[in-house]
Amino acid sequence: MVIFFWQRLCIFKEIILLLKNKSKFVSLRRILPILSFILLSALCVKAQDTRTPAGPIAQEVRVYPNPAQSYITIDLQNNYQKGLTIAVYSFLGKKMYESQNVTEKTTLTLTDYNRGIYVYHITGPDGKILFTGKFQVSR
């Protein structure tokens, strides 16, 4: 944290020195506050957390066949736990399927699904998304 603060202080000192030299950097004087704002905002932004956890369920979910034509199977394998929910959404965000308290292997029939890409979420009993993925329907 101290190093990060020290780096910001050095950047501000360089900016002040550049602004004091009026003869060479007249146009830079107009641009520099904007650039410093962009730089500082980029340094302060924290990265977004990923939806896929580092936990064991991330490696143990299989979806097959992919691409699918008539059915798709979601296999939770060894990390099945009670109270899981599977929700399937179209690429436009329309909820196509939802099932609570799913079994270790869930098979969906794709008769009502159009050709395209679909996203699925597996949520735990507390409503937190444990895993998300996608599959393709091709006919």
What confidence category does residue 48 fall into, taking pLDDT thresholds of 50, 70 and 90? Answer: very low
Sort 88 into a burial class: Cβ within 10 Å, 0-12 / 13-18 / 19+.
buried
Distance from the first to the final alpha carbon of the chain: 55
Are 31 and 15 within 8 A, CB to CB?
no
At residue 110, what are phi and psi to the nearest 5 degrees? -105, 30
Q: Is 49 inside a domain boundary?
A: no
My answer on whether 26 and 86 are in the same domain is: no
Average pLDDT, integer, range 60-89: 89
What confidence category does residue 122 fall into, taking pLDDT thresholds of 50, 70 and 90? Answer: very high
Tell me the pLDDT tens digit for each residue of 16-25. Answer: 666 666 555 5
127 has a pLDDT exceeding 80: yes
- For 113, the token pair is 């699904």
Q: Is 86 inside a domain boundary?
A: yes
Range of the domain at 6: 2-44
- Identify the helix (H) or strand (E) that includes residue 113: none
Tell me the pLDDT tens digit for each residue of 100-112. Answer: 999 999 999 999 9
My answer on whether 74 and 133 are in the same domain is: yes
Share of the chain above pLDDT 90, in %: 40
Tell me the average pLDDT of the chain.
78
